[in-house]
Structure 1
């Protein structure tokens, strides 16, 4: 609990240092240490953070395993629940069960995050099923007349409510056809029961109360907004958040949720999405009416001072925005050419826009005008970077419009300017990635794989590197799979 308090006051390294000496002996110290590392990995997407968190969570699981009864709850609960032999489980063994289930669930999440291939999907699925079964049996235990509350029962019950609530809520939000398949193999989800469990867990005085609060805030401010109808229960979210904001007024995680609530309410200034606001304002023409009455230069200048660290790390998108905003700190700033369209690329938005030719044409028109302005304008230290950015975005639009040769020319021109780029080094590996994806669509998989290997091996320490590596990994797997399928088809054809 002390470590958790340190964590929530942004003292992340102090929290880890406090926990570390007992991670080899205490289930809760080990699990909490691994959980902090996992939260860090989830927010940074850094492969090393993911690997470190996964290894630590595995160690925590092995420690929990040593404390479990040999005949575990999931193995024998059904035969014990109606008999007094349930008392043979010590309080420590019951806590080991709930901690073990939590380790399994968190390891599954990391497995899905780390790799997108089918083997990882199956491995993660097995962990999810084992975790689900354990939580299901533990929930039955808590409801049973055989259950005797131990000294630390509130922490055990809080863990059960967290797991049961998370599973029920998540499963209930899946599409009906997927849910029917999952029900066939033993899964089921009840949204109301899930919310009730999390609300009870959030209101209790347990170690996991704050995790229940975070899950509920995610549900109210993200899941219902993104996956649902957008009818968000703002009042409930604010009610959940208020006591934690009062207690941890500078807590990065709670400030993040507070910002999210302000976004949903439409209070853009209070939300700190300042970079995006400045990016859009900067793309208005001189004759255009600018909403809000803000000056984009002043907004860009404010961005570096708004950085927050979560779990000891800065978020990659925040670091990207800060790097981009620095050019506005001089007395005569040189404007970014198309910052809103660049951020759209960072979030892979062209894959969505590209499905609508009319929208893609509109964006291409904006990019072409920006390209013409750069050609006419005086050269400066950002000229090559800006020209290459525009070519990358232009290539994407041309690709989705079916103008393949022109798209290829734009992507290739970026590599040709590699040694002249001063700041936006991320453009080079991303141009290789986009060229590889273009080749894959044409069946040129061997050429694509060479480009992807070059993008992965030859470029380091650039903006949004982890995001690019994830895309490279997914593209490489797809290209190799296509090659293998083609080879099999050829062998089959020859044998016939």
Structure 2
């Protein structure tokens, strides 16, 4: 039985429900395939299953809309309706968050759509609840252009905690919630560890928790612990050894404990492995790996000068640059962790003072690093609610790029569109009705040819969607 060639009007309620169950099984199999099989063939197989699943859900949803007048109130029909709305709504929610540039490729595969509804107390409600929690606590935090609905998350957790309190997924989501809600970082770390220990079959889920723990420890400046979790990823995960090698190297370099000469040699070995471990999919490089390779090669170039017998040279704030580009600052949303942000701000300022000692002010490279320092400083101030000070710094960054166009094509060229985006988000906090936000986002969108462009465009697209929705609902 499948949703392609059969006339659904001829199906009994039991057959319709069987079709829905078939779609759900394909979805679960596709998710497991994408999580567990890290080969290109596995990813393609998973995407094809998702396409098949979406086609079935689309057919079932059309059938529902066409037969609204003939619906009955039987329990089986309610379960069927809830399952279809959940599946179709989930697909459309995710598709609505993807920029048009990427959506074109999904549309070629047969995936397109908008957004949908919910049903409480049905068989699918736990799965729907997990999906909403994942969207709020992971996707919204990752994109970082809107507030997480913590009240909704709290209500869902209250319903789920009784039955699923010891499950790996809910423990992971609760860990994120505790950190995002009130900054309970110690409790969050404990929950991540409980999630890891709750199952041993899917190591890939362990890796997600180790990534989160690495980010958390970097925020706390616990470099040894951050390096331990990153090393775990480097040794076990097949996703991107290039990125893990780079992150591990910069964490070890920041660690002032232990044998410094051994640490420096470990950093050198890891930096040399970053280019070696790069992978290509259909001949294309992963943008984040390409970024890490450029930074690693720069470190090697700075430290391979045999005539230089002085102190080892370091990249400037590479950990927090990478965290920003991986949307790690989304963990500090909702202004819940001011003490952590203050700690980061002090560290960033101290690193700039050390870096700036003896630097030639006319050096364009130093000027670029100053812009990175200002950018990260403005991000931290925004996370603390110091919007006006953050606003002024972002304006200064944009002016600097405008006055020195050569900086736009340098290693920190991505800061120019990102500063426009962050400035628009700050304006939204200061004055939600300010029309200048749209101009800033359009300027950010018009800028092209910089590193990690697709990732930034995803956030710009989401910010523009948010403004469009606010305009629409504000008028109605």
Q: Same fold (TM over 0.5)?
A: yes
Query: Is residue 385 of structure 2 the alignment partner of residue 416 of structure 1?
Result: no
Give the counterpart of 2:51 among 9, 33, 48. 33
Query: Is residue 375 of structure 2 the alignment partner of residue 388 of structure 1?
Result: no
2:37 is matched with 9
Structure 1 alignment gaps of length 5 or more: 21-28, 36-56, 116-122, 140-159, 197-215, 246-252, 489-496
Bigger radius of gyration: 1
Structure 2 alignment gaps of length 5 or more: 1-24, 100-113, 138-147, 179-186, 218-224, 235-243, 306-312
Shift of 1:61: 2.1
Shift of 1:427: 1.5
Give the counterpart of 2:315 among 324, 336, 340. 336
Inter-CA distance 354–433: structure 2 relative to 1 (3 Å threshold)? farther
Q: How does 1:69-218 map to 2 (within 5 A)?
A: 75-76=71-72, 78-79=73-74, 100-101=84-85, 103-110=87-94, 113-114=97-98, 124=115, 126-127=116-117, 129=118, 132=119, 136-137=121-122, 139=123, 163=127, 166=130, 178=152, 189-194=159-164, 216-218=167-169
Shift of 1:369: 1.2
Distance, in Å, in 2 between the alignment partners of 1:75 and 1:335 is 67
Contact 2:348 2:373 in 1 (8 A): no
Distance, in Å, in 1 between the alignment partners of 2:413 and 2:193 is 41
Query: Is residue 441 of structure 2 the alignment partner of residue 462 of structure 1?
Result: no
Distance, in Å, in 2 between the alignment partners of 1:312 and 1:219 is 37
Shift of 1:240: 3.2
**Residues 355-382 of structure 1: per-residue CA shift (max 9 Å, x gap):** 56954762453254156247338958x5
Q: Secondary structure at the match of 1:348?
A: helix
2:199 is matched with 240
**Residues 86-132 of structure 1: per-residue CA shift (max 9 Å, x gap):** 7xx9xxxx9x87873552242254167459xxxxxxx74x43x1xx3
TM-score, length-normalised on structure 2? 0.56
Q: How does 1:227-376 map to 2 (within 5 A)?
A: 227-228=177-178, 229-230=187-188, 231-232=190-191, 234=193, 237-238=196-197, 240-242=199-201, 244=202, 253=204, 256-257=207-208, 259=210, 267-268=228-229, 269-272=231-234, 273-283=244-254, 288-289=256-257, 294-295=263-264, 296-305=267-276, 320-330=291-301, 332=304, 335-346=314-325, 347-348=328-329, 359=343, 362-363=346-347, 365-366=349-350, 368-369=352-353, 372-373=356-357, 375-376=359-360
2:419 is matched with 431
TM-score, length-normalised on structure 1? 0.54
Q: How much is the aligned-residue C-alpha RMSD, in angstroms?
A: 5.6
**Number of residue-to-residue matches in the alignment:** 369
Give the counterpart of 2:60 among 61, 64, 71. 64
Distance, in Å, in 2 between the alignment partners of 1:18 and 1:370 is 49
Inter-CA distance 294–474: structure 2 relative to 1 (3 Å threshold)? same
Contact 1:338 1:370 in 2 (8 A): no
Inter-CA distance 75–303: structure 2 relative to 1 (3 Å threshold)? farther
